[in-house]
Amino acid sequence: MTVQSARRRRREPLGGKSPLRTVGIAAVWLFVAGCVAMLVWVLIQSVRDTRSILNDPWGLPSTLKWANYVTAWSGSGFATATFNSTWTALLSAVLIVLVSAPAAYWLSRYETWFTNSLTMYFVLGLGVPIQVILIPLFVMLNYAHLTNSLVGLVVVYVGTSIPFTVFLLTGFFRSLPMELEEAAAIDGSSPFGTFWRIMLPLAKGGILTAFVLQLISHWNETLLALTLLQSTRSYTLPVALIAFVQQQTYSGADWGGLFAGLVIVIFPMLAVYLWLGRRLSEGLTLGMGK
């Protein structure tokens, strides 16, 4: 094998240039284009009035009706719901990472029958649908007087999200070299000091990934919030959007306001992902390569 043929083979993508791979790539890009087109369509309809939307759903706005956002923001309680969703999603994501990172590090470094049993326990937690435990969760929170409370919602978010986060971070910590820990132990570092000063910075890619995934998940979560929250003062954005849709159904649909509400719900997390998407990939590759 010549040097040129070896270089050519290294440049070839995984799977070669088979027709099946070409069709798969085309299907993925077609799906991406459809999602982007749908988001652009929702954004355009959010600045149109109801009559123009019904007359020409695919048309462009002749005038920009920014009053739709005022209607969605003030008339449906989206201002309070945005504050509730923001601090609920941020607090739950932070608490999940704070609990899961030390647990995942310990499970990945100490291979015993006890840690293996705990790892399997977390893995089993991934297979429990939230619909199965919804009624027991409501009953327990009711006994603890945490229904219709954002604190209770945060507790449920943390408890139901820890299994996935521990599973994700355990695999990431296992990929980090143990030689750095041995060198730190020789230098007299304690196990906690090694974790805090050495392993945690190396794992920042995985931790950032887990944090953003949980942030997006809890921002968009609807079933638990709809079940546990009854007061409009405690509504998160998805529940407030459902209430707004029901309100418009009985009082006459304001389609421009409904699309504006969708934009308020969707685009903040889309902006977060676009902002941190490249950093997630770079941080994860950097952490695993060191």
Pairwise CA distance, residues 207 & 280, whole Å: 9
Beta carbons of 96 and 210 less than 8 angstroms apart = yes
Write down the pLDDT at residue 100: 92
Write down the pLDDT at residue 290: 42
Pairwise CA distance, residues 105 & 184, whole Å: 16
Helices (H) and strands (E) in the chain, counts: 15, 0
Write down the pLDDT at residue 150: 92
For the chain, the structural domain boundaries read 67-289
Task: Using 70 as the pLDDT threshold, list the residues of the chain that sit under it.
Answer: 1-17, 75, 249-252, 277, 279-290
Q: Where are the beta strands (DSSP E) in the chain?
A: none
Write down the pLDDT at residue 287: 44
Pairwise CA distance, residues 221 & 213, whole Å: 12
- What tens digit of pLDDT does each residue of 208-237 get? 888 988 998 899 899 999 999 888 888 998
Q: How many CB atoms lie within 10 A of CB 15?
A: 11
Write down the pLDDT at residue 158: 93
Superfamily of domain 67-289: MetI-like (1.10.3720.10)
Pairwise CA distance, residues 64 & 69, whole Å: 11
- What tens digit of pLDDT does each residue of 243-279 get? 887 777 666 677 888 888 888 888 888 888 777 767 6
Write down the pLDDT at residue 49: 85
Write down the pLDDT at residue 231: 85
Write down the pLDDT at residue 95: 95
- For 212-235, give the DSSP string: HHHHHHHHH--HHHHHH--SGGG-
Pairwise CA distance, residues 286 & 290, whole Å: 6
